[in-house]
């Protein structure tokens, strides 16, 4: 299978370390007032150039995240200062593509740092694959205001939604999706056969694991980043089962060290 994967640089987000790593900073008797830590996480998308067409994995943060598209209190918590310097069309150009080359979009989920480029596909017939449960969750959040990680203006467009149902399946030959609920109800991962330069499979688990610590140590994300911890743990077991059977390169959602190395292996 002649498949090439490109990394799209969409900038860097900052957030309190206790979000991606539960209890990372904890008061103890000997250190009752530890300093809070702001962590940095890269935001990236993947462009999968596949015989069946060109597929875009996630669409990043909206370029006006810091200019009012994200509510001020949300931006104060999840701060993506350079979102405006890395809009989707420019990130595509950096790897030799443009918007019109994108035949399919897969949204791992619809959080604000993943769905903010969907407006680029409004009014087109480009299919946008997203899990049924994620689309329902996003509109529930928009209607009730109960989950600030979803921004109605990201996804409430005239889009050619292509809902994914159930547990997983084949998108195209050699491209498989898996339902990985936990971080959100409808998170999906993508398994790309021969997705690395040396022909190894690529398993994009996305925000199932913000970084290697979540995946390798089973250290959960904290606070609002786990919709369901039991589901997250079950999804982690599912990922590890895939890993045992396929020996893929597992790609995390926001791991700075891994993202630095990725271009060398893709
Ligand atoms: Zn997320």
189 contacts 180 by C-beta, under 8 angstroms: yes
Give residue 159 CA to ligand 1 midpoint distance, Å.
21
Paired strand residues for 13? 41
Give residue 124 CA to ligand 1 midpoint distance, Å.
25
DSSP sequence for 7-66: EEEEEEEEEETTTTSTTSS---SS-SSPPP-EEEEEEEEEEEEETTEEEEE--B--TTGG
Q: Residue 223's pLDDT is what?
A: 74
Nearest in space to 134 (alpha carbons), one of 114, 104, 157, 158: 114
What are 195's two structure tokens?
């997705």
Tens digit of pLDDT at every position of the chain (266 positions): 689 999 999 999 999 999 999 999 999 999 999 999 999 999 999 999 999 999 999 999 999 999 999 999 999 999 999 999 999 999 999 999 999 999 999 999 999 999 999 999 999 999 999 999 999 999 999 999 999 999 999 999 999 999 999 999 999 999 999 999 999 999 999 999 999 999 999 999 999 999 999 999 999 999 789 999 999 999 999 999 999 999 999 999 999 999 999 999 99
Give residue 261 CA to ligand 1 midpoint distance, Å.
22
137 contacts 183 by C-beta, under 8 angstroms: no
* Domains of the chain as residue ranges with CATH: 4-265 (3.60.15.10)
Alpha-carbon distance of 23 to 6, in angstroms, equals: 34
Q: Residue 2's pLDDT is what?
A: 87
Q: Is the overall model pTM greater than 0.95, yes or no? A: yes
Summarize pLDDT for 137-179 with one digit per residue, the tens: 999 999 999 999 999 999 999 999 999 999 999 999 999 999 9
* Residue-level length of the chain: 266
Give residue 60 CA to ligand 1 midpoint distance, Å.
11
Give residue 111 CA to ligand 1 midpoint distance, Å.
5
Q: What are phi and psi of 103, to 5 degrees?
A: -95, -30
Summarize pLDDT for 224-233 with one digit per residue, the tens: 899 999 999 9
Give residue 30 CA to ligand 1 midpoint distance, Å.
34
Q: Residue 224's pLDDT is what?
A: 84
Give residue 33 CA to ligand 1 midpoint distance, Å.
29
Alpha-carbon distance of 10 to 116, in angstroms, equals: 11
Give residue 12 CA to ligand 1 midpoint distance, Å.
14
Alpha-carbon distance of 119 to 117, in angstroms, equals: 5
104 contacts 54 by C-beta, under 8 angstroms: yes
């Amino acid at each position: 299978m002649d498949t090439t994967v490109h990394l799209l640089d969409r900038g860097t987000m900052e957030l309190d370390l206790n979000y991606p790593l539960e209890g990372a900073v904890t008061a103890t008797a000997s250190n009752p007032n530890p300093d809070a830590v702001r962590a940095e996480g890269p935001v990236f998308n993947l462009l999968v150039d596949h015989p069946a067409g060109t597929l875009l994995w996630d669409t990043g943060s909206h370029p006006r995240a810091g200019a009012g598209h994200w509510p001020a209190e949300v931006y104060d918590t999840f701060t993506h200062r350079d979102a405006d310097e890395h809009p989707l069309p420019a990130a595509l150009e950096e790897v030799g593509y443009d918007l019109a080359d994108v035949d399919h979009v897969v949204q791992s989920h619809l959080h604000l740092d993943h769905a903010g480029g969907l407006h680029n596909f409004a009014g087109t017939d480009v299919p946008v694959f997203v899990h049924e449960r994620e689309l329902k969750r996003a509109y529930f959040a928009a209607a009730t205001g109960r989950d600030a990680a979803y921004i109605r203006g990201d996804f409430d467009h005239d889009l050619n939604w292509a809902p994914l149902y159930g547990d997983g399946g084949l998108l195209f030959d050699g491209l498989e999706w898996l339902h990985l609920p936990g971080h959100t109800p409808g998170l999906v991962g993508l398994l790309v056969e021969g997705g690395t330069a040396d022909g190894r499979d690529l398993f994009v688990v996305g925000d199932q694991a913000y970084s290697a610590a979540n995946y390798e140590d089973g250290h959960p994300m904290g606070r609002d980043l786990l919709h369901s911890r039991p589901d997250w743990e079950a999804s982690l077991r599912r990922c590890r089962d895939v890993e045992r059977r396929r020996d893929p390169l597992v790609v995390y959602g926001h791991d700075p060290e891994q993202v630095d190395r990725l271009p060398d292996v893709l």
